[in-house]
A and B are shown apart, each in its own frame.
With several copies, the nearest count.
Chain A
Amino acid sequence: MPSDALPGRRSPAAAWFAENGALAALVVLVVALSLLSPDFLSVTNLLNVGVQAAVTAILAFGQTFVIVTGGIDLSVGSVAALSAIVLAWTATVAGLPWPPATLLSLLVGVACGLVNAVLIAYGRLPPFIATLAMLGIARGLALVISQGSPIPMPEAVSHLGDTAGGVLPVPVIVMVVMGVIAAVMLNRTYAGRAMYAIGGNEEAARLSGIKVGRQKLITYALSGGFAAVAGIVLASRLASAQPQAAAGYELDAIAAVVIGGASLSGGKGRALGTFVGALILAVLRNGLNLLSVSAFWQQVVIGVVIALAVLVDTLRRRGTT
């Protein structure tokens, strides 16, 4: 009977696995690395991988919102740096207590996102251009405020870079929390569902009464806010905010989202996939360090593995249909 082959009738585990193709690639990678390096599969090392994935993953969660709507946000790395600099500057240099400083820093991230969204939704700029402009602007402002030098982070905030209870690194906790927020937003909220509709067919969404402009504001503001969180976590890990921090992370964040199964043409993407994508990148870098691959070859290997990881996914998918 045809109905046996229905998507919803497969075992939930199989269906889940099939929809998260990147997971297969991650599993293969983990198995391969555990065989190649005895140090890989220790609890400490896996927690390290978690910490190292955290910033990229948080940026990528924010990026997922944008990519689901069919946009792209190139400014996340710069916005992360700017937000961290604002926090450190207002707290350390201007002497504001850390709670308002942190709030301000988050607001700066959100504001950057809003500017992007206004340019895109109302100025009709292509997202690539609007956020590329913001990439330069936010980085420049970070440099201007910090005068190009790192600024110490306030002690209280820096605990975000610590380890809770001596075992669980706080960045990992933050990453998981942000991931859950992203997943819930995307799956359960009006804003999230509207993002899928807009990415799937913007005109149909508009004609169904979705306020596309306003939803884009929310989307990019979220991306900016997530970038601010990522920036704060990053700066906390170093106990200092660096104006050049997170440079180039936008490509990593976008790659994580796309490896996770999202499509740059919009309408597709999941928080869990993005998480797996970020883990693949972090595991890969960690593994290359453990295996002492030479600096020159590392980029080659990363490139090949990224291509293979996604190839495995697309070929498998093609096999099914």
Chain B
Amino acid sequence: MSEEILKAEGLRKTFPGVVALDGVDLGLRTGEVHVLLGENGAGKSTLIKVLSGACHPDAGRILMDGRPVHLRTAGDAQRLGISTIYQEFNLVPQLTVAENLALGRPPRRFGFVATGRMEQQARGLLERVGVDVHPRTPVAGLGIARMQMIEIAKALALDARVLIMDEPTAVLTTGEVARLFAIVRQLRDEGVAVVFITHHLEEIAEIGDRVTVLRDGRSVARVPADTSRDELVALMVGRPVGRQYPRRLPRRGKPLLEVSGLTRRGAFGDVSFEVRAGEVVGMAGLVGAGRTEVVRAVFGADRYDEGEVTVRGTRLPPGDVHAAMEAGLGLVPEDRKGQGLVPQAGVAENLGLVTMRDATRAGFVDRARLRSAAAKAAERLGIRMAGLDQEVRTLSGGNQQKVVIGKWLVADARVLILDEPTRGIDVGAKVEIYELVNELTAEGDAVLMVSSDLPEVLGMSDRILVMARGRLVGELRAAGATQDDVMALAVAEVEGSHAE
């Protein structure tokens, strides 16, 4: 049995109105992958922030190699060999990939930053995680998945003894997850202790050794990673959860959303599809396939060069979010922090963002009405919060995502575009969201769901559109299709274009 390298005892942390950690114990051995499991808001991220020095516990202690340590800053933890990937991105968008990878510790020569060496190192790291970007590219333009890979590479750069990863796979597609797992296994075999947080239960058996389950800020169980899914869920939620992808009667009404020949040069070309009333249409593809760009263009968030978008028979003017909304379109963006939320505003304020216009009479907003609608939505989604006025930036990641979805629920959109809707959402809540999608479609609304989670796409959609390199490369009926079918389409086209 290998020794415990990092140990936490009785950690407590309270925020105004919330006890985030309420006496958590954790023991981490060298050469193991230790999975942290828990519902949204259970305290996982808070725990790792305490372990990485980003946050100070109110009580309890942390031991490293059996000696108590005092982590005052993130730098302290790094010096002790603890490297962390946080749930929220910690990249500097204006700086290049190479600089982000060396953030805080660039190679120096005669006191000056050695740019050449820095890029050299960056190239090595990028190759290791398999990301094909130039080290001199600014991070700002990269898609969210590649940003996550950069975060991973950055954490690897430290050569740490303890590697903590907060939901690294939430935004990755199968290929990248596989690559990440290969890296993690290699590190584990080299004796690195890994803390791994995920809401994808199937990943636990694949990569984990032991699991610590957190519930309401307490560590309630420690079990081996091969514990059955149902048992894990029961430990985590405290009650059984229904079918993961609830069954639904397929219905096809008239087309609500029609997209034809949508093109933006340099991004995507000739994208045509329709989504009918009562349908869930999935959109799959590799990272960077252009799915996000297409749906943003459809919603009017970005301009496009050619093509048209029609909602319920009316053609939308390009680049006009407001018109899209009026026509009944809604978009849950993939980047919740950057595009979905007003971080320092309260939960109620955020939930009412879209409906504010409708709750306005003679210029005055009926805030009471918005508030009661928000309260209802929060209840329906089970948002864990101290109150409707809690700033959303202090909600747990999963609960933030619920707020973003909630604002469109309140708005009663007819065609809802969900871009990675269940990213970072726990199993229980996922089912709730799926049920919600089903409710919407049962009422005759339509849903277009972009997701990198293939089981989810397969389990929830009626039809699946597959994108590669900015083009729609195929369409599958979900019934009977397998993950391999989808991947074959997505990958084939990429290889084809490389051959050009």
Direct contact of A and B (CB under 8 A): yes
Given contacts A189-B111, A208-B353, contact A4 B345 (CB under 8 A): no
User: How many angstroms between the C-alpha atoms of A7 and B389 in the bound complex?
Assistant: 8
What is the minimal beta-carbon distance from B16 to any residue of chain A, in angstroms?
5
Residues of A within 8 A of B105 (CB): 208-209
Cβ of B14 within 8 Å of any chain A Cβ, yes or no, is yes
Chain A nearest CB, measured from B103 CB (Å) = 4
User: 6 shortest A-B CB distances, which residue pairs?
Assistant: A200-B342, A200-B92, A209-B75, A208-B104, A204-B90, A267-B94
Interface pair A7/B16, CB less than 8 Å apart:
yes
Given A7-B17, A190-B113, CB of A206 within 8 Å of CB of B73:
yes
CB-based contact A2/B18 at 8 Å: yes
Q: A6-B387, A268-B344 are in contact. Are A209 and B363 (CB under 8 A)?
A: no
Give the shortest distance, in Å, between A265 (CB) and chain B (any CB): 10
Which residues in B have their C-beta under 8 angstroms from that of A33? none
Q: Do the beta carbons of A268 and B94 come within 8 Å of each other? A: yes
Given B18, B103, B389, which contacts A208 in the complex, CB threshold below 8 Å?
B103
- Report B-chain residues with C-beta under 8 Å of the C-beta of A321: 16
A8 partner residues in chain B, CB cutoff 8 A: 134, 136-137, 387, 389
A208-B90 contact, Cβ under 8 Å, with A7-B389, A188-B113: yes
In the complex, which residues of chain B have a beta carbon less than 8 angstroms from the beta carbon of A205?
92, 103-104, 342, 353
Evaluate whether A207 and B86 lie within 8 angstroms (CB atoms) in the complex, with A7-B16, A193-B356 already known.
Answer: yes
Task: Report B-chain residues with C-beta under 8 Å of the C-beta of A294.
Answer: none
| Cα–Cα, bound, A290→B137 (Å) | 45
A3-B17, A208-B354 known; A188 vs B364 contact (CB < 8 Å): yes
Give the interface size class of chain B.
35 or more
- Whether B338 contacts A196 by the Cβ 8 Å rule is no
The 8 Å CB contact of B91, one of A204, A206, A211, is A204
B333:A207 contact, CB within 8 angstroms: yes
One of A4, A204, A268 near B266 (C-beta < 8 A): A4
Q: Please determine whether A2 and B267 come into contact, CB atoms closer than 8 angstroms.
A: yes
A196-B345, A209-B325 as given contacts; A201 in contact with B92, CB under 8 Å: yes
Interchain nearest-CB distance for A144 vs B (Å): 37
A207 to B92, CA, bound (A): 11
**CB–CB B365/A193 < 8 A:** yes
Roughly how many angstroms separate A246 CA and B84 CA in the complex, as a whole number? 48
State the CA gap A123–B79 with chains docked (Å): 27
Query: A residues within 8 Å of B by Cβ?
Result: 2-8, 184, 187-194, 196-197, 199-201, 203-211, 267-268, 321
Q: In angstroms, how far is the closest chain A Cβ from the Cβ of B86?
A: 7
**Contact B353 A204, beta carbon cutoff 8 Å:** yes
Point out the residue from A6, A189, A191 that lies within 8 Å of B16, measured CB to CB. A6
CB pair A6 B90 closer than 8 Å = no
* CA of A3 to CA of B132, assembled, Å: 12
Within 8 A of A (CB), among B121-146: 134, 136-138, 141
Judge whether B73 and A2 touch: CB under 8 Å.
Answer: no
A211 vs B54: C-alpha distance when bound (angstroms): 13
Q: Give the distance in Å from the alpha carbon of A188 to the alpha carbon of B74 in the complex.
A: 24
Residue in chain B with minimal CB distance to A199 = B94
Q: Which of A7, A184, A197 has the most CB of B within 10 A?
A: A197
User: Contact between B94 and A208 (Cβ–Cβ < 8 Å)?
Assistant: no
Taking the nearest CB of chain B, how far is it from the CB of A271, in angstroms?
15
Contact with A along B367-392 (1 / 0, CB 8 A): 10000000000000000001101100
**A6 vs B387: C-alpha distance when bound (angstroms):** 8
Specify which of A206, A210, A267 is in contact with B344 (CB 8 Å cutoff): A267
| B343 / chain A contacts, CB cutoff of 8 Å | 200-201
Q: A207-B301, A209-B74 are in contact. List 20 more A-B contacts (CB 8 A).
A: A2-B17, A2-B19, A6-B17, A6-B386, A7-B137, A8-B134, A8-B389, A184-B112, A189-B365, A196-B349, A197-B99, A197-B103, A204-B353, A207-B90, A209-B73, A209-B354, A210-B103, A210-B356, A267-B93, A267-B344
* Complex CA distance for A203 and B354, rounded to whole angstroms: 13
Q: Does B341 contact A (CB under 8 A)?
A: yes
| B 450-471 contacts with A by CB, 8 A | 469-470
Residues in chain B near residue A190, CB distance under 8 A: 106, 108, 111, 113, 356-357, 360, 363-365
Cα-based distance from A232 to B48 in the complex (angstroms) = 52
Residues of B close to A193: CB separation below 8 A? 95, 99, 106, 113, 349, 356, 365
Question: Is B2's beta carbon under 8 Å from chain A?
Answer: no
Q: A6-B17, A7-B138, A8-B137 are in contact. Are A208 and B95 (CB under 8 A)?
A: no
| Identity of the chain B residue whose Cβ is nearest the Cβ of A320 in the assembled complex | B16
Cβ of A9 to closest chain B Cβ, rounded Å: 8
Query: Hey, which chain B residues are within 8 Å of A192, CB to CB?
Result: 113
User: How far is A273 from B60 in the complex, measured between Cα atoms in Å?
Assistant: 40
Known: A201-B92, A211-B75. A5 touches B103 (CB 8 A): no
Provide 16 A-B residue pairs closer than 8 Å at the C-beta atoms, listed in order of the A residue.
A6-B17, A7-B386, A184-B112, A188-B113, A188-B364, A190-B108, A191-B363, A193-B95, A203-B338, A204-B339, A204-B341, A207-B54, A207-B299, A207-B321, A208-B104, A210-B357
Chain A residue at minimum C-beta to C-beta distance from B370: A193
Nearest CB of B to A268, in Å: 6
For A187, A207, A267, the residue with the greatest tally of chain B CB atoms inside 10 Å of its CB is A207
Which of chain A's residues have a CB closer than 8 A to the CB of B312? none
A25 to B203, CA, bound (A): 55
A residues within 8 A CB of B18? 2
Bound form: Cα–Cα A205–B321 in Å: 10
In the complex, the answer to whether B113 meets A189 with C-beta atoms within 8 Å is yes
Given A2-B17, A207-B90, A196–B95 Cβ distance below 8 Å? yes
On chain A, the residues within 8 Å of B14 by CB distance are 2, 5
Interchain CA distance A196-B111 in the complex, whole Å = 17
The listed residue with most B CB atoms (<10 A of its CB), out of A200, A204, A267, A268, is: A204
Most buried by B among A3, A6, A193, A210: A193
